[in-house]
Structure 1
Amino acid sequence: MDQLLENLRIRGNEKTFLKDPESTDLGRRIIEQSIILINEIGFEAFTFKKLATQINSTESSVYRYFENKHKLLLYLSSWYWAWLEYQLVFATYSLKDPHERLNKAIEIVTRTTEEDSNYSHVNEVILNKIVINEFSKSFLTKEVDRDNKEGYFQIYKRLVNRLEKIINEVNEDYEYSKSLASTLLESTLHQHFLREHFPTITTCDKPETTTHFLTQVVNYALKK
């Protein structure tokens, strides 16, 4: 916890880039504009050529930072999970009651994202939309086992483990704590996706109802 709070610099998984985009103005523009462009046209239509045009640079300059657009998506999603992890730790650190800490953790990971002025080149609201719509494309690939072995999902898994620890503090005898933690994160993305695209098959018709729903689900599962 102390180590996390000492370093307020959020960054994506270092295994995903060739050159740290946070280290230069061009790199930060690549991150800023890729978020905007992916949100506008979708990940399938997104190319480094289109991104280079957006930032008034060359396609080769983008490739100096990322090997391909899949690695860029892995970077963006891991940046988001690292940012969310910081929000979670900061909001729950001083809470002593395990149930209060659990409910606050659920609120943090399920609530509607607000823009964080500490990171001017990252629009967290738009990035959240990308994670909701595109995150599954980062692991629903033939290379997922290799990517996992290489550590590309390390930050996401670390967040799951933090949630698992909070769940265990409420009920240490609950045998599915890791599954419940990962289900909480996946269900959050799924319900927000349904609310935006398939509203007739979810009752979470408002952002806050996702929080209410998943709070009930998790607490009911942990009842002794």
Structure 2
Amino acid sequence: MINLLSNLKISVPDKIFIKDPESSDLGKRIIEHGILLIDEIGFDSFTFKKLGVKIGSNESSIYRYFESKHKLLLYLTSWYWAWIEYQMVFATHNVPDDKDRLFKAIEVVTRTIKEDVTYTHINEVILNRIIINEYSKSYLTKEVDSENKEGYFEVYKRLIHRLREIIKNVNPDYKFPSSLASTIVEGALHQHFLKVHFSSITDCGKAITPTEFFINLTQNALKTNTDESN
């Protein structure tokens, strides 16, 4: 998978950035240290001024790439979901059985993340932690509808649509494939958050993984629907 992914460029909607950060060393440093700083102090406390100090550059140079820290968060989340999407595609494309393909897809979107050495300026483990803790801040805004129309969330929605189609292949009669797909993707973030911060209200932990939970949930949902239709 590493060799396959190394030949692909993670694509982020170009309206999110002013200048592609992948096009220069400074842009890559903005991404690399932006991830580290958001993880360290949280998105609410994060500013371009603080990031400028970290990378030894003027705050104004960061604004040449992103017009706001909100746009930087949108970039990071879009990059993450595109990276997950590529992994899902490669993990499932040679799996002939529909159920096995679905379980493999669920595994990709729910598992604990390991660092991918393909992208040296992005620590995917830390980025995953940011997605778990901060992703909702990218869309829980007054501008969400207009930003959605501009295509800022197209990568995230495309990932869910892919998972929805895999679900439909397993059971074409299931009435809620989109809802189940979005529940798996969003729910995985929530279960990973609960595991760390509110362990008393989740069964996921050292003995049970979010992957096991969502595979079980999906099996029961699709089986129940199939039984009712027979």
The one-letter amino acid of 2:204's match is: C
CA distance in 2, matches of 1:7, 1:155: 19
Residue pairs, 1:3-18, within 5 angstroms: 8-18=8-18
Contact 1:192 1:207 in 2 (8 A): no
CA distance in 2, matches of 1:162, 1:206: 29
Structure 2 residue aligned with 1:83: 83
CA distance in 2, matches of 1:188, 1:14: 27
Contact 1:111 1:207 in 2 (8 A): no
Contact 2:5 2:118 in 1 (8 A): no
Residue pairs, 1:32-71, within 5 angstroms: 32-71=32-71
Structure 2 residue aligned with 1:20: 20
Structure 1 residue aligned with 2:140: 140
- Partner of 2:15, secondary structure, is helix
Structure 1 residue aligned with 2:107: 107
Deviations 1:11-30 (A, max 9, x none): 33322100000000000000
Residue 83 and residue 208 in structure 1: after superposition, are their counterparts in 2 closer, same or farther (change >3 A)? farther
Structure 2 residue aligned with 1:176: 176
Instruction: Count how many residue pairs are aligned between Structure 1 and Structure 2.
Output: 221
CA distance in 2, matches of 1:138, 1:189: 14
Deviations 1:10-57 (A, max 9, x none): 133322100000000000000000000000000000000000000000
The one-letter amino acid of 2:68's match is: N
Q: Identical aligned pairs, as a percentage? A: 63
Contact 2:6 2:118 in 1 (8 A): no
Deviations 1:146-176 (A, max 9, x none): 1111110000000000000100010001010
The one-letter amino acid of 2:144's match is: V
Shift of 1:205: 1.4
Runs of 4+ deviating beyond 2 Å: 4-7
Give the TM-score normalised by structure 1: 0.96
Structure 2 residue aligned with 1:190: 190
Deviations 1:53-102 (A, max 9, x none): 00000000000000000000000000000000000000000001000000
Structure 2 residue aligned with 1:122: 122
Name structure 2 gaps, 5 residues minimum.
none
Contact 2:48 2:59 in 1 (8 A): yes
CA distance in 2, matches of 1:26, 1:93: 36
CA distance in 2, matches of 1:10, 1:196: 29
Residue 148 and residue 207 in structure 1: after superposition, are their counterparts in 2 closer, same or farther (change >3 A)? farther
Contact 1:112 1:208 in 2 (8 A): no
The one-letter amino acid of 2:64's match is: R
Name structure 1 gaps, 5 residues minimum.
none
- Partner of 1:15, secondary structure, is coil
Give the TM-score normalised by structure 2: 0.93
RMSD of aligned alpha carbons: 1.4
